[in-house]
Amino acid sequence: MSGDHEGRGSGSGPTDVLNHTQLVREGERAAHALARLGVVPGDPVAVMLPMCLESVTVTLACVSLSAVRVSLPVGRHPSLIRQRIQSSGARVLVSADACLVDGRVHGVKAALDRALTGCPDVERVFVVRQLAQPVPWQPGRDRWWHEALAAETLPPRPYPGHMNDHARPGRSPAHPASRLDFDDPLERPSSDDTDPGWGDESPDDPGSGDLARFLRERPPHHL
């Protein structure tokens, strides 16, 4: 059986540019999809993708779940792929349908299926649409990556910052002493400053001017 879905995401074609928020949300959707299959911290997730946006998304999902990403080299012999899958113990795989290698179309999913003949423990293969070509398909095991992510509905992400943090529920009002002080520190002496500044009268010698203080200083800084 061959997959015949068109495009990625909503079916409007590939999306290769995301802003930071969109990328993080895609990673969260991917993490939910993997967790739904029972992926827990330490579990391997085998990935057979070229350099693409979905490769980054899978990596973010693995980081979020503390899972181990196992990269499978695209274009290598199926026996090497089979050996790596078996040694890693991966039950979940993410594969491209096809990609270009040295200017030629390489059937990534077809090569993966040949490798999976000796991997009975693999339970799910997510297929990432890269090229609009039919791919071999095993019902019950294979699923389109964009369909899996579209099925994950995430709650709205609240704004992480709070301009008035003390007003949050369960928080007591901030102490007045902890509030920001925008006064000019040069308009008043500091708490450890006992030396009157120039132009100020000395409490020990009222009426003395700056010249008298200048000549009276010890040691004589002016010499």
Per-residue pLDDT at 217: 63
Which of 150, 173, 199 terminates a domain? The answer is 150
| Domain membership flag for residue 178 | no
Do 53 and 144 belong to one domain?
Answer: yes
Do 115 and 222 belong to one domain?
Answer: no
Per-residue pLDDT at 195: 56
| H-run or E-run covering 22 | helix 20-36
Per-residue pLDDT at 161: 52
Tracing tokens 């609240």 back to the chain, one arrives at 158
Do 38 and 143 belong to one domain?
Answer: yes
| Domain membership flag for residue 106 | yes
| Domain membership flag for residue 175 | no
Per-residue pLDDT at 75: 78
| Domain membership flag for residue 165 | no
Per-residue pLDDT at 142: 97
The CATH number of residue 139's host domain is: 3.40.50.980
- What's the Rg (C-alpha) of the chain? 33
- Residues 97, 107: Cα–Cα separation, whole Å: 7
Q: Do 126 and 144 contact (CB within 8 A), yes or no?
A: yes
| Domain membership flag for residue 111 | yes
Do 35 and 130 belong to one domain?
Answer: yes
Do 119 and 197 belong to one domain?
Answer: no
Do 119 and 217 belong to one domain?
Answer: no
Which of 150, 170, 198 terminates a domain? The answer is 150
Do 144 and 195 belong to one domain?
Answer: no
**φ, ψ at 163 (rounded to 5°):** -65, -35
| Domain membership flag for residue 46 | yes
Instruction: Identify which of 39, 42, 96 has the alpha carbon closest to the alpha carbon of residue 73.
Output: 96
- Residues 127, 8: Cα–Cα separation, whole Å: 11
What is the block-wise mean pLDDT of the chain (223 residues), using blocks of 10 residues? Answer: 41 62 92 95 96 94 96 88 94 94 89 92 95 90 95 73 49 54 64 56 59 63 52
Per-residue pLDDT at 170: 52
Do 125 and 34 belong to one domain?
Answer: yes
**How many domains is the chain built from?**
2
Instruction: Identify which of 26, 48, 30 has the alpha carbon closest to the alpha carbon of residue 39.
Output: 30
Per-residue pLDDT at 138: 94
What is the residue range of 52's domain?
Answer: 20-150
User: Vertex 137, ends 132 and 140: CA angle to 5°?
Assistant: 130
Number of other CB atoms surrounding residue 219 within 10 Å: 6
| Domain membership flag for residue 42 | yes
Per-residue pLDDT at 185: 64
The residues with which 105 forms a beta bridge, in sequence order, are 100
| Domain membership flag for residue 15 | no
Which of 125, 150, 175 terminates a domain? The answer is 150
